[in-house]
Amino acid sequence: MSLDTVLTRIDTNMPEALERLKELLRIASISTDPAYKADCDKAADWLVRDLNSMGIAAEKRPTPGHPMVVAHAEGPGPHLLFYGHYDVQPVDPLELWHNDPFDPQVEETEKGPVIRGRGTSDDKGQLMTFLEACRAWIAEEGQLPCRMTFFFEGEEESGSPSLAPFMKANAEELRADLALICDTSLFESRVPGIEIMLRGMLQEEITVTGPRIDLHSGIYGGAAINPVRVLAKIIASLHDDQGRITVPDFYAGVEELPEAVRAQWEALDFDAAAFLGDVGLSHPAGEQDRTALEMIWSRPTCEVNGIKGGYAGAGFKTVLPSKASAKISFRLVGKQDPQAIQANFRKMVRAMLPPDCTAEFTCHGAGVAFNLGKTDARFEKALKALTEEWQVPAAYTGSGGSIPIAGHFRDILGTTPMLIGFSKDDDGLHSPNEKYDVESFHKGARSWARILAALTRD
């Protein structure tokens, strides 16, 4: 096994690799919009052909939604699984894109070349980063250094409704020694790492109803209850003056950071002022006894994502609305129970309702947090490989976001997931003009080649 020749192959083939990525990016595989169903199918077919071209036996598998792609390659080492998703977010608002989002181009920027287009960073670029590492291994060695399963889905950006049922139905085929996931980022766009904490999620929509119809505020104002005022009071009560969340028993299951992880995070020298300054802010607004990095990686949150009620159009309308609603999300950590938090939140809201008001609730999703708890020698090997490629110490990190697939691997398959990714903070995931640095694509492929070598050594 010669890692050097594999790395050289990746370097030499980078122009062709970028062209392959462009081909996949041109397919408008927007999973949430039924109008793009054929494009999602086309993207799955493209991946099957690409895997087959490497000598990897791949199939498109049907689901009630968009198809899965499953492939297997034999090899001498342990059994690894790689997960990625080929679907992308919608492109709206289209007028904010500088070019056609499905006509990817390599552009020169002050920070180096980037490839721009929908799905470049999330997740087609990251998926192909791994495939290019595998392509180089097979070209140089005739096979991968391990037994490999490839598992690609087409519904990640629309809630993955088919994912868990498919995994349960095919658990024996998909179960592996370790699951690799490439859908995360470099810390501060420069430090590679392995994410060991992901927050869970509870999404609640509350609608407060007062009078049966909208009322004239001059005739009824003062005498009639205003649902917007009631809702505003409820929202204001969700946090105390120190930024702590006031839902009863909310912090049950929240765990403190292990000291070794805390020390590693402190060594990252995170610049909270710059982090907030980039978006026009200056002061952390969460729990006042926590660092900003703790707030976004290892602490739970309660945030209002949208409010609706009354007249919000141009001009003015003196109306007292019949209804007011808000969308409220809770990011969860540790062993927090989303069902228990949901019950306590709804009980708290109902207790605050004045006479003549009712509340209706709609849950838009709930999932537990993912916390690896402890790592093993495989993770240390991967960290060392990342450090060797990027020439900065790799780190264990957390994430403020949620990636349910990590928990599915653990809970459904009994397989430990390893989350490594190469996107950067300014990639514009889910936004207009999304991009992926050519450096991330190139060094990411080299990183995966190194990791495969490291994981398959005795």
pLDDT band at 260 (very low <50, low <70, confident <90, very high): confident
What is residue 156's predicted lDDT score, i.e. its pLDDT? 94
3-state secondary structure (DSSP) of residue 354: coil
Q: Give the Cα separation of 131 and 82 in Å (integer).
A: 10
Structure tokens at 444: 């990411």
Q: Tell me: the pLDDT tens digits for 308-360?
A: 999 999 999 999 999 999 999 999 999 999 999 999 999 999 999 999 999 99
The residue-averaged pLDDT of 120-128 equals 97
What is residue 77's predicted lDDT score, i.e. its pLDDT? 84
What is residue 225's predicted lDDT score, i.e. its pLDDT? 97
Q: Give the Cα separation of 184 and 330 in Å (integer).
A: 21
Structural domains in the chain?
3-198+369-456 (3.40.630.10), 200-254+300-367 (3.30.70.360)
pLDDT band at 365 (very low <50, low <70, confident <90, very high): confident
Q: Tell me: the pLDDT tens digits for 440-451?
A: 999 999 999 999
User: What average pLDDT is seen over the chain?
Assistant: 95
Q: Tell me: the pLDDT tens digits for 70-118?
A: 999 999 989 999 999 999 999 999 999 999 999 999 999 999 999 999 9
Q: Is 1 a residue whose pLDDT tops 70? A: no
User: Dihedral of the CA atoms 201, 68, 81, 200 (nearest 10)?
Assistant: 0
What is residue 405's predicted lDDT score, i.e. its pLDDT? 87
- Contact indicator for 367, 404 with CB cutoff of 8 Å: yes
User: Dihedral of the CA atoms 51, 410, 406, 268 (nearest 10)?
Assistant: -120
The residue-averaged pLDDT of 146-161 equals 95
Q: What are the angstrom distances between the C-alpha of 324 and each of 209, 213, 239, 285, 327?
A: 7, 12, 20, 26, 11
